[in-house]
Amino acid sequence: MAYALLSVSDKTDLTSLAKSLVQHGYEIISSGGTARHLEAEEVEVTSVEQITGFPECLDGRVKTLHPRIHGGILHRRDNSEHCRIVDSLEMASIDVVVVNLYPFEEKAIKGQLTLEDAIEFIDIGGPTLIRSAAKNWEHVAVVTTPADYDLVTSELRANGEISRDTRRLLASKAFRHTGRYDSLISRTFQRLAEDDPLPPDHLLVALDCAQVLRYGENPHQKAAVYAFAGGTPDVVGAHQHHGKALSYNNLLDLDAAWALARSLPASGAVVVKHTNPCGAAYSADGLMAAYRRALACDPVSAFGGIAAFNGIVDESLASVLTEIFLEIVAAPGFTDGALEQLKTKKNLRVMEMPQTSEIAPIIPWMLRSIGGGVLVQELDTEVEDQETWTVVTERAPSEREEEGLRLMWEVCRHVKSNAIICGDSDGTSAIGAGQMSRVDAVQLCAMKAKLDLSGTVAASDAFFPFRDGVDELAKMGITAIIQPGGSIRDKEVVEACNEHGIAMVCTGHRHFRH
C-alpha cells in the first residue's frame, strides 16, 4: 500500500489534492485539523495514531515525531536491508508528504506577539517531515505549497506517478521553505530576546520574489526584486495605480526619492534623477509651491526623473506634473481627480506609497552586495540632537540661516558623496553630487545653479579638507555653512569663513553616501 501523509495549516485546495491521490491508489494519513477537514469532505483518512500506536500529546506538540512515520519516509526503496526493516517493524511506506507549517509569520510577526506567545507558532514536526521527505527525494515527493498541487495531480493523471525531475524540484523548494521559516524565527528571537547587536555571528535573511523585472541596469542583465519576508511594507510594497511596469533603475530611483520625501517637513516635494536629488523643498503654501521650488533647482536634470511628495497629490498639482516628462510620481495618496489627470500620461508610473507601519522592519540594516559577500550597516536615519551642534565662527547664523542649514543638512544625507547642497529655508538652489573632490562638488553647484545663490546657505556631507571649498562658496554668495568638522585643517577652514563673514556650524556627524 502506498501512503500519502497530509498535514497542513493552509488548507487551500487540499480536498481536491487528497481525492486525486486516493484515485491513484494512495491511502491518506493525517491528524488533527487536517484530518477533520478531510473527513468533513468525505475523504477517508488513516490517523497518525493508527500508524504509530501512540497518542497525540502535549497539546499537539508531539504527533508525527515517531520512527514509524519517519522510517516510512526515509527508507531507501532500492536498499533491500532498508525495505526488510520497514517490513519487520510494520512501518507504512510514505511516498508523498504534503506539509505546510504553522503560520508563524502571520500570527507571531504580523500579530506582534511577545516571544512567549510567539513560540507557540513554531512548528517542529512539520519541518522535520519536510526535511525527511526532501532528503529522500529520490523516492518521496514533498509538497509545501498549494501552488504545486496542480503539478502533482497533472503528473499523476498523465503518468500515474510523480517524475524524478519533479521530485527533485519539489525537494529544492522544500528546503527553501524550511530555510525561510527558520530565518523568520531566528530574526524574531534576535529582535525580541536580544539587543539585536550588529553584527550577529550569522545573519539569516529570507527574501520573497515580489516581481521579475524586464532586465537589470542594462538590457543584458537579468533582474528581479525581492521583499523581506515578514517585513514592513515599504517601497517594494507600493501600489501602482498606472503606467508601465517598474524597472530595476526605476526602483532604485523610487527608493531614493521616497527616503528623502518622507524625511522632509510636511508639504515636502522631491525630484530625483539617477538616485540623486535634482531638488527638494517644502512650503507652508502646500505641495504645489514645494514642487515648483524643487523643480526650479535643476529643471534640466528633472526631465525623465521622479517626483515624490509626502502629502496627498490633488488635481491641480497633477495637472502641473503632466507638463514635463516624468518616469514616476510617488505620494502617500492621490485624489480621484489627480489620478484621472495623471492617467492621461500613458506610460507615467503612479505609485501610492505605504504609510509608516508600527511593525519593526524584519532587517533593520542596509545590506549591499560586494564580490564574495555582503556589507551590512545601520541605516543612516538617526535624528541628530541639534543642541550638540557647535558654532565655530565669529559670527553665528541668523534664525533664517539656521532654518536653511537644518534643511540642507537633511537633504545632504540623501546625496551621493562628495556632496555640496546650496539653498535656503524653503528648498535647494543647487546640488553638487558624486564628485571625486569636495571643491569639485562646490564648483558643480556654481555651474548647475539656475537660481541665484547669493544669500543662500550650504551643507557639506563631510569635512572640508582644505579652505578652497569655502573660498569658492564665498564667491557664490553663500552666507552660512554646515559641515561635520574633524579635518586636521579645521582651523584654516574656520579662518576662511571668518575672512568672508560666513557663519559655520559643525555637527560632529558625517553623511557619506556611496
pLDDT one-digit tens code per residue, 63-110: 777 888 888 898 888 878 887 887 888 788 889 999 988 787 877 777
Instruction: Note down the domain range covering 469.
Output: 387-506
Question: Which amino acid belongs to residue 338?
Answer: A
Residue 465 lies in a domain: yes
Same domain for 259 and 406: no
269 in the same domain as 160: no
pLDDT of residue 355: 79
Cell 524643487, residue located? 294
Active site residues: 135, 274
| Sequential DSSP letters for 386-397 | GGG-EE-SSSPP
Which parts of 143-232 fold into alpha helices (H)? 149-159, 164-193
Q: Which of 170, 193, 216 is the last residue of a domain?
A: 193
Model pLDDT, residue 357: 55
d(CA 302, CA 286): 20
| 289 in any annotated domain | yes
Instruction: Please report the pLDDT score of residue 106 as a whole number.
Output: 75
| 183 shares its domain with 244 | no
How far is residue 514's CA from residue 435's CA, in Å, rounded to a whole number? 11
Q: pLDDT at position 187, please? A: 80
**Last residue in a domain, options 193, 215, 240:** 193
Pairing of strands 94-99, 2-7: parallel
**Confidence at residue 382, expressed as pLDDT on a 0 to 100 scale:** 79
- Choosing from 352, 374, 401, the residue where a domain stops is 352
Q: Three-state secondary structure along 444-510?
A: HHHHHCCCCCCCCEEEECCCCCCCHHHHHHHHCCCCEEEECCCCCCHHHHHHHHHHHCCEEEECCCC
Same domain, residue pair 13 and 136 = yes
Residues 126 and 73 in one domain: yes
Residue 513 resides in a domain: no
**Prediction pTM value:** 0.85
On whether both 40 and 140 belong to a single domain, the answer is yes
* pLDDT for res 414: 95
* Residues of the chain where predicted confidence (pLDDT) is lower than 70: 53, 57-60, 62, 193-199, 356-362
Check whether residue 284 and residue 166 sit in a common domain. no
As a whole number of angstroms, the distance between CA 145 and CA 155 comes to: 16
Q: Looking at the domain assignment, is residue 166 inside a domain?
A: yes
**CATH code where residue 485 lies:** 3.40.140.20
Q: Reduce the secondary structure of 61-102 to three states and give it as a string.
A: CECCCCHHHHHHHHCCCCCHHHHHHHHHCCCCCEEEEEECCC
| Domain shared by 74 and 122, yes or no | yes
- Cα 101 from Cα 94, distance rounded (Å): 19
What is the total count of domains within the chain?
3
3-state secondary structure of 175: helix
* pLDDT for res 457: 98
